[in-house]
Protein backbone atom coordinates (compact mmCIF):
# COMPACT_ATOMS: atom_id res chain seq x y z
CA UNK A 1 0.00 0.00 0.00
CA UNK A 2 2.87 2.36 0.76
CA UNK A 3 4.18 1.90 -2.78
CA UNK A 4 0.80 2.76 -4.30
CA UNK A 5 0.49 5.78 -2.00
CA UNK A 6 3.89 6.97 -3.14
CA UNK A 7 2.93 6.55 -6.79
CA UNK A 8 -0.29 8.47 -6.14
CA UNK A 9 1.58 11.35 -4.50
CA UNK A 10 4.07 11.53 -7.37
CA UNK A 11 1.40 11.48 -10.07
CA UNK A 12 -0.69 14.06 -8.22
CA UNK A 13 2.35 16.31 -7.92
CA UNK A 14 3.01 15.95 -11.65
CA UNK A 15 -0.63 16.74 -12.44
CA UNK A 16 -0.49 19.85 -10.23
CA UNK A 17 2.71 21.11 -11.89
CA UNK A 18 1.24 20.44 -15.31
CA UNK A 19 -1.98 22.27 -14.42
CA UNK A 20 -0.10 25.35 -13.23
CA UNK A 21 2.16 25.37 -16.29
CA UNK A 22 -0.77 25.01 -18.67
CA UNK A 23 -2.47 27.99 -17.03
CA UNK A 24 0.77 29.96 -17.17
CA UNK A 25 1.29 29.24 -20.89
CA UNK A 26 -2.36 29.56 -21.93
CA UNK A 27 -1.52 32.68 -23.96
CA UNK A 28 0.36 30.43 -26.41
CA UNK A 29 -2.73 28.28 -26.80
CA UNK A 30 -4.97 31.33 -27.35
CA UNK A 31 -2.67 33.89 -29.01
CA UNK A 32 -5.56 36.06 -30.20
CA UNK A 33 -6.73 36.79 -26.64
CA UNK A 34 -5.34 38.81 -23.78
CA UNK A 35 -3.35 37.13 -21.03
CA UNK A 36 -6.27 37.08 -18.61
CA UNK A 37 -8.81 35.91 -21.19
CA UNK A 38 -6.51 33.19 -22.49
CA UNK A 39 -6.06 31.76 -19.01
CA UNK A 40 -9.78 31.99 -18.35
CA UNK A 41 -10.47 30.22 -21.65
CA UNK A 42 -8.21 27.36 -20.61
CA UNK A 43 -9.81 27.08 -17.16
CA UNK A 44 -13.27 26.60 -18.67
CA UNK A 45 -12.07 24.39 -21.53
CA UNK A 46 -12.44 20.61 -21.56
CA UNK A 47 -8.76 20.02 -20.76
CA UNK A 48 -8.80 22.60 -17.98
CA UNK A 49 -11.86 21.11 -16.29
CA UNK A 50 -10.46 17.57 -16.56
CA UNK A 51 -7.15 18.71 -15.05
CA UNK A 52 -8.93 20.40 -12.16
CA UNK A 53 -11.17 17.43 -11.44
CA UNK A 54 -8.12 15.19 -11.54
CA UNK A 55 -6.24 16.96 -8.75
CA UNK A 56 -9.20 17.97 -6.54
CA UNK A 57 -9.56 14.55 -4.80
CA UNK A 58 -5.97 14.69 -3.54
CA UNK A 59 -6.69 17.76 -1.40
CA UNK A 60 -9.79 16.45 0.38
CA UNK A 61 -10.36 13.75 2.93
CA UNK A 62 -10.78 10.32 1.41
CA UNK A 63 -13.95 9.82 3.47
CA UNK A 64 -15.93 11.99 1.08
CA UNK A 65 -17.35 9.56 -1.46
CA UNK A 66 -18.07 12.27 -4.01
CA UNK A 67 -14.41 13.29 -4.14
CA UNK A 68 -13.24 9.69 -4.38
CA UNK A 69 -15.53 9.25 -7.35
CA UNK A 70 -13.84 12.21 -9.05
CA UNK A 71 -10.69 10.12 -9.31
CA UNK A 72 -12.38 8.23 -12.13
CA UNK A 73 -12.20 11.45 -14.15
CA UNK A 74 -8.48 10.81 -14.61
CA UNK A 75 -9.33 8.40 -17.36
CA UNK A 76 -10.24 11.42 -19.49
CA UNK A 77 -6.52 12.15 -19.71
CA UNK A 78 -6.43 9.35 -22.27
CA UNK A 79 -8.17 11.72 -24.67
CA UNK A 80 -4.96 13.73 -24.79
CA UNK A 81 -3.41 10.88 -26.71
CA UNK A 82 -5.54 12.21 -29.52
CA UNK A 83 -3.05 15.00 -30.10
CA UNK A 84 0.02 12.75 -29.98
CA UNK A 85 -0.85 9.56 -31.82
CA UNK A 86 -2.02 9.35 -35.40
CA UNK A 87 -4.35 6.38 -34.79
CA UNK A 88 -6.48 8.36 -32.34
CA UNK A 89 -6.58 11.27 -34.77
CA UNK A 90 -7.94 8.95 -37.44
CA UNK A 91 -10.67 7.68 -35.10
CA UNK A 92 -11.70 11.22 -34.17
CA UNK A 93 -11.67 12.39 -37.78
CA UNK A 94 -13.81 9.46 -38.93
CA UNK A 95 -16.40 9.91 -36.17
CA UNK A 96 -16.58 13.67 -36.80
CA UNK A 97 -16.84 13.34 -40.57
CA UNK A 98 -19.48 10.59 -40.43
CA UNK A 99 -21.39 12.06 -37.50
CA UNK A 100 -24.54 12.82 -39.51
CA UNK A 101 -24.73 9.34 -41.02
CA UNK A 102 -24.01 7.72 -37.65
CA UNK A 103 -26.69 9.79 -35.92
CA UNK A 104 -29.20 8.90 -38.64
CA UNK A 105 -28.50 5.18 -38.31
CA UNK A 106 -28.65 5.34 -34.51
CA UNK A 107 -31.98 7.16 -34.80
CA UNK A 108 -33.31 4.34 -37.00
CA UNK A 109 -32.15 1.76 -34.45
CA UNK A 110 -33.88 3.66 -31.64
CA UNK A 111 -37.13 3.90 -33.59
CA UNK A 112 -37.05 0.17 -34.35
CA UNK A 113 -36.23 -0.58 -30.72
CA UNK A 114 -39.12 1.52 -29.44
CA UNK A 115 -41.62 0.12 -31.95
CA UNK A 116 -40.64 -3.50 -31.32
CA UNK A 117 -40.73 -3.04 -27.55
CA UNK A 118 -44.26 -1.63 -27.59
CA UNK A 119 -45.48 -4.36 -29.93
CA UNK A 120 -43.93 -7.12 -27.84
CA UNK A 121 -45.33 -5.63 -24.64
CA UNK A 122 -48.81 -5.53 -26.15
CA UNK A 123 -48.59 -9.16 -27.25
CA UNK A 124 -46.86 -10.70 -24.21
CA UNK A 125 -48.18 -8.69 -21.28
CA UNK A 126 -51.38 -10.70 -20.91
CA UNK A 127 -49.57 -14.04 -21.29
CA UNK A 128 -46.78 -13.32 -18.77
CA UNK A 129 -47.55 -10.15 -16.77
CA UNK A 130 -44.76 -10.89 -14.28
CA UNK A 131 -42.13 -10.78 -17.05
CA UNK A 132 -43.44 -8.01 -19.31
CA UNK A 133 -44.59 -5.80 -16.45
CA UNK A 134 -44.39 -2.48 -18.25
CA UNK A 135 -43.12 -0.81 -21.39
CA UNK A 136 -39.57 -0.66 -20.02
CA UNK A 137 -39.52 -4.47 -19.89
CA UNK A 138 -40.30 -4.44 -23.60
CA UNK A 139 -37.51 -1.93 -24.22
CA UNK A 140 -35.06 -4.14 -22.31
CA UNK A 141 -36.07 -7.14 -24.42
CA UNK A 142 -35.84 -5.23 -27.71
CA UNK A 143 -32.41 -3.85 -26.78
CA UNK A 144 -30.98 -7.29 -25.99
CA UNK A 145 -32.53 -8.72 -29.16
CA UNK A 146 -31.62 -5.98 -31.64
CA UNK A 147 -28.07 -5.69 -30.33
CA UNK A 148 -27.76 -9.51 -30.39
CA UNK A 149 -26.88 -9.64 -26.69
CA UNK A 150 -29.49 -12.23 -25.78
CA UNK A 151 -29.46 -12.22 -21.98
CA UNK A 152 -32.33 -14.70 -21.92
CA UNK A 153 -34.06 -13.26 -18.86
CA UNK A 154 -37.02 -12.01 -20.92
CA UNK A 155 -38.39 -13.89 -23.93
CA UNK A 156 -41.78 -14.37 -25.61
CA UNK A 157 -43.85 -17.51 -25.09
CA UNK A 158 -46.83 -16.86 -27.36
CA UNK A 159 -46.80 -17.90 -31.00
CA UNK A 160 -47.36 -14.35 -32.25
CA UNK A 161 -44.67 -13.05 -29.92
CA UNK A 162 -42.14 -15.59 -31.17
CA UNK A 163 -42.92 -14.78 -34.80
CA UNK A 164 -42.40 -11.09 -34.03
CA UNK A 165 -39.16 -11.93 -32.24
CA UNK A 166 -37.84 -13.79 -35.30
CA UNK A 167 -38.64 -10.85 -37.59
CA UNK A 168 -37.14 -8.31 -35.18
CA UNK A 169 -33.99 -10.41 -34.75
CA UNK A 170 -33.45 -10.52 -38.52
CA UNK A 171 -34.07 -6.78 -38.79
CA UNK A 172 -31.65 -6.17 -35.95
CA UNK A 173 -28.81 -7.97 -37.72
CA UNK A 174 -29.14 -5.64 -40.69
CA UNK A 175 -30.00 -2.38 -38.96
CA UNK A 176 -27.38 -2.57 -36.22
CA UNK A 177 -24.73 -3.34 -38.84
CA UNK A 178 -25.37 0.01 -40.56
CA UNK A 179 -23.32 2.17 -38.11
CA UNK A 180 -20.51 -0.39 -38.27
CA UNK A 181 -20.47 -0.21 -42.05
CA UNK A 182 -20.48 3.60 -42.00
CA UNK A 183 -17.53 3.72 -39.61
CA UNK A 184 -15.64 1.05 -41.57
CA UNK A 185 -16.14 2.98 -44.81
CA UNK A 186 -14.95 6.10 -43.02
CA UNK A 187 -11.71 4.40 -42.01
CA UNK A 188 -11.10 3.26 -45.58
CA UNK A 189 -11.70 6.79 -46.89
CA UNK A 190 -9.50 8.32 -44.21
CA UNK A 191 -6.53 6.08 -44.96
CA UNK A 192 -7.06 6.56 -48.68
CA UNK A 193 -7.02 10.29 -48.05
CA UNK A 194 -3.74 9.98 -46.17
CA UNK A 195 -2.31 8.05 -49.10
CA UNK A 196 -3.44 10.78 -51.48
CA UNK A 197 -1.89 13.41 -49.23
CA UNK A 198 1.40 11.50 -49.31
CA UNK A 199 1.24 11.45 -53.11
CA UNK A 200 0.37 15.13 -53.07
CA UNK A 201 3.53 15.87 -51.07
CA UNK A 202 5.67 13.93 -53.54
CA UNK A 203 4.43 15.96 -56.49
CA UNK A 204 6.37 18.97 -57.67
CA UNK A 205 4.84 22.02 -55.99
CA UNK A 206 4.79 23.82 -59.34
CA UNK A 207 2.22 21.31 -60.61
CA UNK A 208 -0.20 21.86 -57.71
CA UNK A 209 -3.10 24.29 -58.07
CA UNK A 210 -5.80 25.31 -55.60
CA UNK A 211 -9.18 26.32 -56.95
CA UNK A 212 -11.53 28.33 -54.74
CA UNK A 213 -15.18 27.45 -55.34
CA UNK A 214 -17.28 30.59 -55.83
CA UNK A 215 -21.03 31.12 -56.16
CA UNK A 216 -20.90 30.17 -59.83
CA UNK A 217 -19.61 26.65 -59.08
CA UNK A 218 -21.31 26.11 -55.70
CA UNK A 219 -24.03 23.47 -55.80
CA UNK A 220 -22.48 21.52 -58.66
CA UNK A 221 -21.00 18.08 -58.31
CA UNK A 222 -17.31 17.50 -58.77
CA UNK A 223 -18.00 15.65 -62.03
CA UNK A 224 -19.95 18.62 -63.44
CA UNK A 225 -17.04 21.01 -63.02
CA UNK A 226 -14.88 21.00 -66.15
CA UNK A 227 -11.22 20.92 -65.18
CA UNK A 228 -9.80 19.38 -68.32
CA UNK A 229 -8.00 16.12 -68.94
CA UNK A 230 -4.72 17.46 -67.58
CA UNK A 231 -6.17 17.99 -64.08
CA UNK A 232 -6.15 15.36 -61.34
CA UNK A 233 -8.09 16.29 -58.19
CA UNK A 234 -6.43 15.16 -54.95
CA UNK A 235 -8.45 16.73 -52.14
CA UNK A 236 -11.32 19.04 -51.36
CA UNK A 237 -10.66 21.28 -48.37
CA UNK A 238 -13.83 22.27 -46.50
CA UNK A 239 -13.63 24.10 -43.18
CA UNK A 240 -11.19 21.99 -41.15
CA UNK A 241 -11.74 18.79 -43.14
CA UNK A 242 -9.78 17.22 -45.97
CA UNK A 243 -12.37 15.36 -48.03
CA UNK A 244 -11.60 12.57 -50.46
CA UNK A 245 -12.96 13.68 -53.86
CA UNK A 246 -15.87 11.76 -55.39
CA UNK A 247 -17.66 12.46 -58.65
CA UNK A 248 -21.07 12.87 -56.97
CA UNK A 249 -19.71 15.18 -54.26
CA UNK A 250 -21.60 18.50 -54.14
CA UNK A 251 -19.28 21.47 -53.88
CA UNK A 252 -19.95 24.34 -51.50
CA UNK A 253 -18.93 27.96 -51.67
CA UNK A 254 -15.41 28.58 -50.31
CA UNK A 255 -14.39 24.96 -50.82
CA UNK A 256 -10.82 24.61 -52.02
CA UNK A 257 -10.11 21.98 -54.66
CA UNK A 258 -6.50 20.82 -54.60
CA UNK A 259 -5.46 19.36 -57.94
CA UNK A 260 -2.40 18.53 -59.99
CA UNK A 261 -2.00 20.18 -63.36
CA UNK A 262 -0.04 18.05 -65.82
CA UNK A 263 1.71 20.13 -68.44
- pLDDT of 70 higher than 70: no
Note whether 211 and 250 are within 8 A (CB).
no
pLDDT over 60 (residue 80): no
Whole-structure pTM value: 0.54
The answer on pLDDT for 86 being more than 80 is no
Set out the domains of the chain in order of their start, with CATH numbers: 2-84 (no CATH), 99-185 (1.10.287.70), 204-261 (3.30.70.1450)
**Statement: residue 66 has pLDDT above 70:** no
pLDDT digits (tens, 9 = 90+) for 106-136: 888 889 889 988 888 888 888 888 888 888 8
- Range of lowest pLDDT (1-5, 26-30, 57-61, 230-234): 57-61
Residue 50's contacts (CB-CB under 8 Å, 6 or more residues apart) are 73, 76, 77, 79
pLDDT digits (tens, 9 = 90+) for 191-239: 776 666 666 555 555 667 777 888 888 888 877 776 666 667 777 888 7
> What percent of the chain is modeled with pLDDT above 90?
1
- Ranges 74-88, 163-177, 225-239: which has the least confidence: 74-88
Q: What secondary structure letter does DSSP report for 241?
A: E
pLDDT bin (cut points 50, 70, 90) of residue 163 is: very high
Q: Where are the alpha helices (DSSP H) in the chain?
A: 2-24, 26-29, 35-43, 46-55, 65-69, 86-97, 99-124, 135-146, 159-202
- 21 class by beta-carbon count within 10 Å (0-12 exposed, 13-18 middle, 19+ buried): exposed
pLDDT, the chain, mean: 78
Backbone φ and ψ of 231, nearest 5°: -105, 140
The answer, yes or no, to whether residue 142 has pLDDT greater than 80, is: yes
Round to whole Å and give the CA distance between 53 and 58. 10
Range of weakest confidence among 50-59, 92-101, 177-186? 50-59
Give 155's pLDDT tier (boundaries 50, 70, 90): confident
Amino acid sequence: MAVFKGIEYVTTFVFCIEYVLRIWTADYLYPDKSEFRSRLSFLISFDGIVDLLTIIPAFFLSGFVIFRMLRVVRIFHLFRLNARYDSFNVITAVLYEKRNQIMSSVFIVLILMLASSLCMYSVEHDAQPDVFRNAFSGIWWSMSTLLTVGYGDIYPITTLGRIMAICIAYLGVGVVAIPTGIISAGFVEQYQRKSDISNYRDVDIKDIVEIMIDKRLAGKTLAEVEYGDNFSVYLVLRDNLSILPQDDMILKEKDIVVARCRN
